Chain A
Amino acid sequence: MSALDDMRREIVRVTAMAQDVFVNVVAEAHRSIQTGAAITGSPGQPVGQYGPGYHEGETGGTLRDSWQVAFESPTRAIIGTNVKYAKPIEDGIGKYGPLTLRSTVGGFHSRKLTIAGMQRIVDAEVAKVRR
């Protein structure tokens, strides 16, 4: 085996590791936005927990479940939602004033906390691949 063969194997290994890191980072970022993550401090999306007078006892989750991942290429992914009230939930802004969080899960600002914590997600996933 030549030094060139060793180098090619190393490139393949690093490329595979990089691909693993990328996929795992995307998955963790998705989880952070959708259900929350301690590494970013994101609370995840709130869910409707309905009481007397309106679907009593039922639990929502339309917004939480709407967050989807799409891989556009081996190095590009989109995490998004088409739910129109995702923006007000993100900022805690309601058309009648600041939103009151009644859900016992999730909260506001999940997207911005995930974005701010992306480097920690990357560092954690790189560390896992190295082991």
Chain B
Amino acid sequence: MIDNLAYQLALRSRALTLSVATTGVVTLSATATGYARTVGSFYTDGFWPGMELVPAGFATNTPRVITGVTALTITVSGAVTAEVAAGGRSLTVGLPSNRAWENVALTPTTGVPYVEEQYLPGPVAQVTLGPLGELEALPQYVLLFHLPSSTGLTVIRYTDALLRLFAPRTAITLANGDVVRVRSDVGPSVGQLQQSQPGFAVKPIAIPLRVRTANIV
């Protein structure tokens, strides 16, 4: 039977695994203004100003907004507690930590990216015969990435990463056995970069889906 709650929660769970940029587990140090490395490149790993990074393996792992990037250094908003270089650490950019899930209030913080969620249940039709025939639903999952103004095309790195995460034909299997699949006849679409509320620019992305499930009468 159609279960929009299960579909939306499953889509949300997948969105939470979004990976936009990552160093992997490497040796990193923390400076008063950000983070540093001696090998590799933050550029190559995909970090750009305007992104929110999440540190791991440090004494303090508060998410921070990137303000500058070089190959070996990242500067972030706010003060950082300096730490000498050590292994087993990482910096990652994923789904922004400020999340306006549906019907959950969020007051955006100036300069901090956030994501807004919308779920469109879409039409339902019976596609096979009989009272217990299959129902087909065509929901859509919409995420809107709001990034600080004047961060150029950084938001496109978020939407491109989400397009890879929800590539056409991606299947998400639910506990009840239903499969939510990203459509390939009508693929995910990314909207135009637009002005959001003051201080933010926004880019929407809509993921059309197909679910088939047995009717129950």
Instruction: Identify the A interface with B (CB < 8 A).
Output: 38-41, 87-88, 90-98, 109, 112-113, 115-120
In the bound complex, CA of A39 to CA of B120 (Å): 14
Which of B1-9, B19-27, B155-163, B202-210 lies at the binding interface? B202-210
Taking the closest CB of chain A, its distance from the CB of B138, in whole angstroms, is 6
In the bound complex, CA of A112 to CA of B142 (Å): 10
Task: Give the number of residues in B that approach A within 8 Å (Cβ atoms).
Answer: 27
Interchain CB contact (< 8 A) of A41 among B120, B142, B202, B206: B120
In the bound complex, CA of A91 to CA of B123 (Å): 19
Using an 8 Å CB-CB cutoff, how does the interface string of B109-149 with A read, 1 for contact, 0 for none? 00000001010111101000000000000101010100000
Taking the closest CB of chain B, its distance from the CB of A70, in whole angstroms, is 22
| B138–A96 touching, CB < 8 Å | no
A-B contact count (CB 8 A): 64
* Residues A116 and B208 in contact in the complex (CB < 8 Å), given A87-B192, A95-B197: yes
Determine the residue in chain A with the shortest Cβ distance to B210. A116
| A92–B118 touching, CB < 8 Å | yes
* Residues A109 and B196 in contact in the complex (CB < 8 Å), given A39-B123, A92-B118, A116-B208: no
In the bound complex, CA of A90 to CA of B120 (Å): 13
Question: Which one of A96, A97, A120 has the greatest number of beta carbons of chain B within 10 Å?
Answer: A97
| B198–A41 touching, CB < 8 Å | no
| B197–A97 touching, CB < 8 Å | yes
Taking the closest CB of chain A, its distance from the CB of B203, in whole angstroms, is 9
Determine the residue in chain B with the shortest Cβ distance to A90. B191
| B196–A97 touching, CB < 8 Å | yes
| B140–A112 touching, CB < 8 Å | yes
Using an 8 Å CB-CB cutoff, how does the interface string of B168-204 with A read, 1 for contact, 0 for none? 0000000000000001011001011011111000101
Write out the residue numbers on chain B whose beta carbons fall within 8 Å of the beta carbon of A98: 100, 116
| B186–A116 touching, CB < 8 Å | yes
Write out the residue numbers on chain A whose beta carbons fall within 8 Å of the beta carbon of B183: 116
> Lowest 9 CB-CB distances: which A-B pairs, in order?
A41-B123, A97-B197, A116-B208, A41-B122, A91-B204, A112-B206, A116-B186, A95-B195, A96-B197
User: What would 17 more interface pairs be, CB under 8 Å, given A39-B125, A112-B208, A116-B186?
Assistant: A41-B122, A41-B138, A87-B192, A87-B194, A91-B191, A91-B204, A92-B118, A93-B204, A96-B198, A109-B120, A109-B206, A115-B186, A115-B189, A116-B140, A117-B123, A119-B185, A119-B186
